[in-house]
A and B are shown apart, each in its own frame.
Chain A
Amino acid sequence: MAAVSDLDLELERGCLVGMIGPNGAGKTTVFNLITGVYKPTAGTIEFEGRSLRGLKTPQIARLGISRTFQNIRLFKSLTVYRTLQAAIHYQAGYGLFGATIQGPKFLRCEKQIDNVIIEALEFFGLRDIMDEHALSLPYGMQRRVELVRAMICRPRLVLLDEPAAGMNQSEKNQLMNLIRRAREFYRCGILLIEHDMSVVMGICERIAVLDYGIKIAEGSPREIQNNPAVLEAYLGERIEN
């Protein structure tokens, strides 16, 4: 039994694509395949002309793909500020030696990092709570921190795994706004998994539908809404049109 067996998906630079499908359709598995957490048994995964097969997760992240997680995975003991530092870690510009000696190069890099972090915090409205422990924040804020963490390293593609889970409608509206603005500001492509149709239909330019690991439809929000195969997958009965 395959988690994902027939998926052909192409994403252009800067796109905003949604992936939907009933539970267990294999959506998170796709994310795990892209980020190297799982190894594909067949097929290709290419990013900007490079094959991602066999690469380890950090390598893939450094190529410009970042993600958020279905069950938020924030760093247990870090403040919001330090969480973002962790995300910039690989772009620090100095290594272990520099960190211990702390010469002029270190100071310059740290200043730069500080600027980038503050800028991101301000953009996402998290400036005031930057010294709070990330896990002590309300749920909606935690999701936002995870979002910033994924964006701050200026990736070319961001994978968002159910970013609207557990939010009320007003929070969802804020989120949609945030995603739109972030995409503009950071100029990245977004592939998002979401169950909430208002969010998906609200911001996605294109939608792919998965069921039992197979892509059963792809198109604009309008096309997907009227697709009988999609309705069948969700409702489990044939809709005679």
Chain B
Amino acid sequence: MFDLKKHIKANSIDHAIALLIENPDARLIAGGTDVLIKLRDGKPGFSELVDIHGLEELNFIRQDGKNNILIGSGVVFTDIIQSDIIKKHIPMLCDAVQSIGGPQIRNIATIGGNNCNGVTSADSASSLFALNAVLEIRGKGTIRQVPISDFYLGPGKVDLKKGEILTTFKITPENYQGYFGYFYKYAMRDAMDIATIGCAVSLKTKNQILTDYRIAYGVAGPVPLRCPKTEKSVINKKVSKSLLDEISQTIETDVSPRTSWRATKDFRMNIIKELSKRATKEALQRAGEEV
């Protein structure tokens, strides 16, 4: 039995916002794969829940008239993996969410919950960072658009105010059209494991020149992060094996991994450097470049 004091089912986004304002101590629950574990663990702050589980208004994957890809925050990972839109335009995100938990978890855990949890190991986050995803957040009579890089404020902290709810992930065409991406998760096991390091690369090439390059990591710092120094240093350079080595050298200056019981700082740094090469190579191959 969960130590629940209050459980109120929201039947729309507006209703959920009103309930959150009426019940200032309440938290949102969607898939429950994080909230119910914390509740079971006796963590404080989860005994009042506003329930948006299965809310149809948050369950969509579509392209709008401007070719923006819109993903509802209530979409479960299995639906992302099976989505023709995601498979066709941003297969990297399929790779990433495929690596989460096992089938039972992917059938119920949502992309919104994964990111609102605010943890650096969120497997969907690094791809969304590389795609410059914009998050739509609704409050009472307000709508805000927040770039994902600004959404993560610190470990377990995200830019959501009281009475606000994350509704949509938006990926604009200039951030996915012509890009090739790859996600690499390094963990102790191939399934049911938390990433030691997650690495997402998204790039564009023209005549063997890297015209755009983005690299994002999970667990390489307190929150998921992009690597601006490395990105800047390699854009407009010719694709080559030595460029991969260059990336893996510069990347050290962009990240700040730490020691945890899962892995030491030094080991993480080693994985970060290696994955920068591997993920970049795979993304280049998808782009049709020989390395």
Are A and B co-members of a single complex? no
